[in-house]
Structure 1
Amino acid sequence: MEREKALELLRKYNKERLIIFFLCCGMGLLSSCGQQKEGQQKEMNVLLIVGGHGFDEGPFYAMMDKLPGITYEVAEHPDAYQYLKPGKIEGYDAVLLYDMPSEIPEDAKKDFVAMLEKGTGLVVLHHAFCSYDFWPEYTNIVGGRYHHFPWQKDGEEQPPSTYKHDLVLNVKVMDSKHPVTKRISDFQIVDEAYGGTEILESVHPLLATDEPASAPLVGWTNHYANAKVVTLTLGHDKQAWENPVFSQLLSQAISWVGDSVNGK
């Protein structure tokens, strides 16, 4: 009889604990109740493609390692194109380009476009804007082009694009409500600037500068097929990478484009 009483008390005690547990979950008092907190950044798995242009790897990867909510895998050319193939690319929420090849194989072009049609987000960083001189569709994907050769605009020949290192850029935020630039005010950054570039009128401006050696826009969004695209022409070396505003921009750009995967 005493044993039965003890078991009954134990069952009652456990039942009360269970009720309290669910009440706490409903009130949001227990973080272990599972759901992602409001405002918490979704974990992003990023494919980082490099190659075709050298950079100071130590400081760059140190910056990447500190980006909140982001894990990444590095793929280097020429093997990087294998990661874009169906069955492989689905493992990533976003692709970050920090490469600068001048040419791309035909099958890689198809895989690249197919990736965007599936909705995989794309961030184009600094010298990646200067890639693929002989692939016109890349202009439509990234929202513009750095021209290594003379080019035509409105029937008139334009000189090649230019670059200049170690400039103090005053950067103005053009859209403070956009997810990529939220909580970011106008800022200064020491960086390389690209001038005389082509930027499509269809892009959505995010960042601008009044530096004469630079194109007016240094950051924008674009949409291609079912994918979100962000192009940031900033980010040449550790002077930029160690700027907290730059790393915040990159983190928010990755998070925004990554939400386009599978229609999210």
Structure 2
Amino acid sequence: MDIINYSASYKLLALARGHPYERDAYAALLSGLEEFDVCHVEQPVAQRVLGPAAAEEFDAIVCYDMPGVDFTSADAPQLLSPSARFRENYLDMLDAGVGMVYLHHAIAAWPAWPAYAEIVGGRFHYRPATLRDRQWPDSGYCHQVNHRISKLRDHPVTQGIPDSFEMTDELYLCPVFEDDVIPLLASDYCFEDDHFYSAASAVGGTMYSREGWTHPKGSHFVGWVKRQGNSPIVYLQGGDDGAAMSNKYFRQLVHNAVRWVSSEAAHAWARSNST
């Protein structure tokens, strides 16, 4: 919506940029949240907004952004660390308590900041990296996968979603901290390296290649909830392009996620699990 909805009951901050994306499709994905005034901010300006004040200003934040990866450097992709001040502000924001929804390539953001992977529940690698003291190869991707997503449990995020549904989207083969998340959705796709392509090869100019590349078997989880500090968190792996974002069930999942993380019930759950 182009106008500011001053009478809206809730306020949503929607972040993007760092990875190519369809702006109109992303805006349309969030347009059905009538009770929210949606404020779109792109990276790197978004970094100035994220901090404890954002937890007071906004009821939820949707992250469809991917800062921290420089594809223009001579040694691309160059991994950039956020400033110490940004890291402190971000963690203080989560301790203050704000609903967070991470979508698709947001799992690849800030790869040089280990705490970010812990917040989201995993990490997509554009180049080999160390994560939790384990060496990982670059991650895998596969575009235009027609797969079936199954609902693993009843939850406010999956309310109104059928037990299974089909979706065409890009999928990732990357580390997921399965023991640290509550899984909500799983894909029937084969998460093994012979069904994916090397992200490092793609960045290097060779798309759809797995020559000389191997990767450990990956997780079937494509949606989960967790918490960080006092903040309820949802990650949904879907949403690569306009067709994926227009899938009615994915759209419902995103809307459910935004509404849930904004709720007092979600915040009470996050606080009750805080240490």
Identity %: 32
Query: Can you list the C-alpha shifts for 1:117-159, whole angstroms capped at 9, x where unaligned?
Result: 0110110011111101100001111111112233458976432
CA drift at 1:84: 1.7
1:110 pairs with 2:76 = no
Q: State the AA in 2 paired with 1:252.
A: N
| Structure 1 position 89, deviation (Å) | 4.0
Mark the CA change 1:262 to 1:82 in structure 2 (over 3 Å): closer, same or farther: farther
**Deviation, structure 1 residue 83:** 1.3
1:182 aligns with 2:148: no
Runs of at least 5 residues in structure 1 that lack an aligned partner in the other structure: 1-41
Q: What CA deviation, in whole Å up to 9, does each residue of 1:43-73 have, x standing for no partner?
A: 4311111121121111221222123433210
- Which of the numbers 6, 26, 35 marks the counterpart of 1:69? 35
Residue 75 (structure 1) shift: 1.3
1:91 to 57, 78, 81: 57
1:121 matched residue in structure 2: 99
CA contact under 8 A between 1:125 and 1:235: conserved in structure 2? yes
Provide the residue aligned with 1:149 in structure 2.
Answer: 127
For the 8 Å contact 1:49–1:77, the answer to whether it is kept is yes
Deviation at 1:82, TM superposition (A): 1.7
Matches of 1:230 and 1:249, distance apart in 2 = 10
* Counterpart secondary structure, 1:198: coil
Residue equivalent to 1:216: 220
Match of 1:255 in 2: 259
Q: Paired residue for 1:193, among 162, 167, 171?
A: 171
Q: Distance in 2 between matches of 1:218 and 1:251?
A: 16
1:66 and 1:242 map into 2 onto residues whose CA distance is: 12
Question: Which shows bigger deviation, 146-155 or 89-98?
Answer: 146-155
Q: Deviations over 1:155-181 (max 9, x none)?
A: 764322111111102101011x21100
TM-score between both structures, scaled by the size of structure 1: 0.77
Separation in structure 1 between the aligned mates of residue 186 and residue 30 of structure 2, nearest angstrom: 24
- After superposition, the C-alpha distances for 1:62-119 in whole angstroms (9 at most, x for unaligned) are 2221234332101111211221234454110011101001232221111111111011
The residue that corresponds to 1:36 in the other structure is none
Alpha-carbon distance between aligned partners in 2 of 1:88 and 1:196, rounded to the nearest angstrom: 30
SS at match of 2:180: coil
TM-score when normalising by structure 2: 0.74
Residue of structure 2 in register with 1:18 after alignment: none
Whether contact under 8 Å (2:122, 2:174) holds in the other structure is: no
Give the partner amino acid of 1:181. Answer: T
Structure 1 172/194 Cα, relative in aligned 2: closer, same or farther at 3 Å? Answer: same
Amino acid paired to 1:99: D
Alpha-carbon distance between aligned partners in 2 of 1:227 and 1:154, rounded to the nearest angstrom: 22
- Partner SS, residue 158 of structure 2: coil
Paired amino acid for 1:105: S
CA-CA distance at 1:197 after TM superposition: 2.8
